[in-house]
Each structure stands twice: as C-alpha cells, then as structure tokens.
C-alpha cells in the first residue's frame, strides 16, 4: 500500500510505497489514468519515466500501452486474409506462418516480440532449414509487424536485421541442346512438347497447364513435301493470357499469369512447327478451346504424376538431381542471349516484369521477337546437325503404340 508521501507535478504524479519504492501515474488522452508498469527505486527514476511519457505525448508518439496486447498468430492470419493475395502466394504465406513463425511467436502478443527475440529466432531457423526459406519467413514477419506498427499496435518494427530478407539463390544449372532433346525423347511423345516449350519458349509450367487450341496460331499449312522434310521455318505463335498453377491441395487456381508482363505472345523457333502440329493432331483435346496438354484419360495433367515422369527422365538422361523442370526456362533464356537476343528480349519472351525491368524491355516488339526465335532456331539446328543420330525435332514420324 502507498503512503501519503506523494509529489505534485505539472504532468502526472509520483507516490512512494511503504516499501520505499516509487510508482508513477498520468492521465492519458482518453481521460484514463495510466500507472507505470513497474515500481522504481527512487523518486527521480519515477519522474524520468513520466518525463518520457510526456515527451511522447508532445511529439505525438504516445501509444496505448494495451494496444500491443494482440496475439501475433491471430493478427498474422487476419493480415493474410486482408491482403487478397493470389492463391499461390496465400498458400506460401500460410505455410511459412504455420511452419516457421507460429511455433515461435504464435503464443506472444505483438508488443512482446523484441529485436533480440527476432535475432534468436532467425539464428535457430538457419540451423534448422535452408537460408532461402528463412529469408522468405523473415520478410513475411517483417511485413506483418510493419503493418502492426502502422496500426499503432507497436511503437517500432522489431525486425531490424540488415540483409536478413535477402535471398542468395544458387546459380541454376543449364542444359545443352543435346540434353534437352534426350530428356524430351525419354518423356515420350505425349509430353515431348512440354519440354520443348519450357526450353525454347520459356513457358512456365502453370502457363502450359492452361494452354488451349485457341491460343495457338499456326503458320500457313506447308505442302506435303515440306512437311515430310521438315524444312518449314515459319514460326508458331502462342498467346499466353492465363495460367493455372496447381496448389498442394490439388486444386487448380486458374487466373492471370504471374505478372502483368506474363500476358504476351511467344514466337516459337521454326523447328518446333512440326512438333506443335503433330501434338495438336495426336494428343490435344479435340474441342476448339480444348487444353493442349492432357493425360491419357483426357484429364488435365497433375503435378505429382508429371513430376514422377520428369524425375525418371532426368535420371535416365544424366541431368543433375537439382535440375528442375522449371530450369528449362533458364536454359531457354540463356540460349536466347547466346543467339543474339538482348536482356530485354529474354525478359519479354519469359514474361518477367518489374518496374525497373519495364524500362529495359519495353521496346522489344513482336517483330524483334520473331528475329530472336529465328536466331534460336538456327542455333539449335546447327547443334543438332553437328551431333550424331536423327533429328528428334519431329523429322521422323513417331510410331504410336
């Protein structure tokens, strides 16, 4: 219990307890009396605390001491729901939250998450999982707590580790033309074109999943002699307007491509014309707007099933275990630049977008993309002629079982 020894001040008041320790209190902007969260050994210490509160009020930096008493786990879930994210981004954020943030911070209130605790969490995560995952988790934590600071639930974002959200991704492997042809052959006639479109069209898997007959613009039908000899160099155009990524639940989240630049027209190198025509004749859904890539039973292909085929083909050909199907895009972009394409040409072709990148590739026109495709066509044909064996691009008619 406090005794009667108290001090009257211009702002707030201090009082001494029978134990000899001091307490302080003040009236907040809402008219509620606020008491210091702890006692002080001296009157001076209590007055210093009041002076700090008064300075915060004067500067407009004062925050309700109870505002941060919001559970982090609940706040983070609301944060994700309010963002109206793309399905793939929402799935990623929820997974990072569930596996890497909630186990440490889920029981804490927002104002209990201090910089030291964030540093300790990051050090522990770096020991337990990959640096890329930790960087993504840190960026998510920083974004959530940044919003909490904007909402005035905490005074300052405790995520202050310089460079902690930066990913140092390893250089992705590049396949040779011979390896691309080999893995395409092992994948078989139904899936060969998917390999070629990833490598020589720089298409994302989710973009291929939503490709339809109506998205394919074929050149003028060549005469039968040209078709048999595969001498046509007229390119096929692919209109990329939609993407259909598969979530871990198995549901397809069909919508716009990954970025605004993802809506584009891809000019395929001429050597793929025969492959595209044969795929349309043999394997694509027959409806005018039917899917290009479907399974033997007519259903859209599944990531798990295709992934098993890809891993077996990769091993048989001798590609590294860390070579993902997605790395065929990197292979294609590399070949584009080696064929005379500029960085902006490669970015337009791959549908990559950012404010900085837009200034680089905005002048790469459709005509320029046709030139790039012709250069890519010439390079692959030259390498194939230099190797042994038949040209697997489609010159030999594939016998169906």
Q: Tokens in use for 90?
A: 């929402």
In a shared domain, residues 12 and 126: no
Can you give the pLDDT at residue 29? 82
Please give the model's pTM, rounded to 2 decimal places: 0.68
Of 115, 150, 185, which closes a domain? 150
Domain-located, residue 7: yes
d(CA 125, CA 145): 18
Of 150, 168, 198, which closes a domain? 150
Domain-located, residue 170: no
Can you give the pLDDT at residue 396? 40
In a shared domain, residues 249 and 375: yes
The residues, ordered by sequence, that sit 6+ positions from 188 with a Cβ below 8 Å of its Cβ are: 309
Domain-located, residue 401: no
Domain-located, residue 172: no
Q: How many domains are contained in the chain?
A: 3
Q: Tokens in use for 370?
A: 């046709």
CB 197 within 8 A of CB 189: no
Can you give the pLDDT at residue 222? 58
Can you give the pLDDT at residue 389? 46
In a shared domain, residues 359 and 211: yes
d(CA 384, CA 200): 14
Domain span holding position 79? 72-150
Domain-located, residue 363: yes
- Closest C-alpha among 312, 292, 285 to residue 185: 312
∠199-203-204 over CA atoms, to 5°? Answer: 115
pLDDT averaged over 10-residue windows placed end to end, the chain, 401 residues: 54 90 87 86 91 86 72 95 90 96 95 94 94 95 95 90 84 88 96 96 93 93 55 81 89 86 91 94 94 90 89 95 92 84 82 54 62 87 72 41 32
Can you give the pLDDT at residue 91? 94
Owner of token pair 């994302």: 204
Can you give the pLDDT at residue 398? 36
- DSSP string covering 233-260: -PPPEEEE--B-PBPTTS-B--BS-SSG
Domain-located, residue 16: yes
Can you give the pLDDT at residue 182? 96
Query: Residue 279's CB: how many other CB atoms inside 10 A?
Result: 23
């Amino acid at each position: 219990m406090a005794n009667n020894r108290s001090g009257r001040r211009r702002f707030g008041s201090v009082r001494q307890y029978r134990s000899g320790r001091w307490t302080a209190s003040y009236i907040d902007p809402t008219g509620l009396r606020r008491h210091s969260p702890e006692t002080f050994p001296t009157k001076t210490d209590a007055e210093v605390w009041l002076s700090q509160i008064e300075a915060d009020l004067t500067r407009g930096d004062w925050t309700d001491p109870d505002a941060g008493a919001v559970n982090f786990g609940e706040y983070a879930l609301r944060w994700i729901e309010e963002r109206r994210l793309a399905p793939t981004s929402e799935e990623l954020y929820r997974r990072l939250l569930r596996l890497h943030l909630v186990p440490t911070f889920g029981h804490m209130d927002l104002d209990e998450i201090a910089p030291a605790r964030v540093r300790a969490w990051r050090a522990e995560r770096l020991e337990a999982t990959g640096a890329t995952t930790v960087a993504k988790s840190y960026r998510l934590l920083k974004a959530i707590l940044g919003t909490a600071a904007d909402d005035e639930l905490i005074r300052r974002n405790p995520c202050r580790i310089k460079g902690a959200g930066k990913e140092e991704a390893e250089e992705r492997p590049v396949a040779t033309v011979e390896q691309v042809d080999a893995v395409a052959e092992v994948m078989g006639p139904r899936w060969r074109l998917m390999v070629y479109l990833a490598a020589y069209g720089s298409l994302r898997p989710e973009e291929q999943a939503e490709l339809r007959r109506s998205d394919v613009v074929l050149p003028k039908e060549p005469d039968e002699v040209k078709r048999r000899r595969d001498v046509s160099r007229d390119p096929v155009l692919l209109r990329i307007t939609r993407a259909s990524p598969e979530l871990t639940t198995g549901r397809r989240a069909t919508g716009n491509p990954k970025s605004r630049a993802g809506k584009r027209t891809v000019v395929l190198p001429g050597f793929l014309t025969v492959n595209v025509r044969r795929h349309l004749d043999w394997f694509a859904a027959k409806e005018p707007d039917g899917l290009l890539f479907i399974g033997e039973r007519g259903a859209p292909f599944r990531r798990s099933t295709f992934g098993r085929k890809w891993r077996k083909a990769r091993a048989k050909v001798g590609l590294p275990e860390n070579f993902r199907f997605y790395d065929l895009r990197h292979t294609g972009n590399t070949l584009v630049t080696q064929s005379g394409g500029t960085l902006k040409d490669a970015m337009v072709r791959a549908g990559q977008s950012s404010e900085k990148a837009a200034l680089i590739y905005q002048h790469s026109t459709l005509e320029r993309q046709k030139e790039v495709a012709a250069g890519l066509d010439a390079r692959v044909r030259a390498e194939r002629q230099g190797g042994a064996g038949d040209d697997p691009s489609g010159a030999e008619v594939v016998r169906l079982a």
